[in-house]
Amino acid sequence: MDYAKLPLSFKGELHIEPDEFTLEATRLIVHADKVSFEFVGADGNGGAFTVSGVAQRTGNGTFLMQGVKPEYKTTVACPVGDFEFLVVEIKSNGTGDATQDSCYLEGVWREKNPPAEWAFSGTLVPFKST
């Protein structure tokens, strides 16, 4: 990773496994020591939700945020869990223009009660403000 280019901001759809809900990165900001994120999604239980936070780099090279609480739009569901970003890889387009780079992302969302786990992954494109 070229740390001279950081922080970089990305967005895009994420694939969920098992495929039980939708999840989109509306903003993912990659720093050398942390990953800031804002995701939106929808599930069959609580409906539309947002989840955001800052995952700190761990000793094994992943980024972890504990105590994540999604905010649901229409219900009072309050699951609490962890987000762990296992792979955060900036892919250069080869031109030296960081605004054209992409970010490959793999991670796991773990909820505690009841216990559940979903893998997420995707290739995100640069975030451009309008």
Q: What is residue 127's predicted lDDT score, i.e. its pLDDT?
A: 86
11-30 pLDDT per residue, tens: 999 999 999 899 999 999 99
- What are the phi and psi torsion angles at 3 (to 5°)? -65, -20
Q: What is residue 6's predicted lDDT score, i.e. its pLDDT?
A: 73
75-99 pLDDT per residue, tens: 666 677 899 999 999 888 777 666 6
- What are the phi and psi torsion angles at 5 (to 5°)? -85, -15
Integer Rg of the chain from CA: 15
Q: Please, what are the domains in the chain? A: 3-123 (2.40.128)
Q: What is residue 77's predicted lDDT score, i.e. its pLDDT?
A: 64
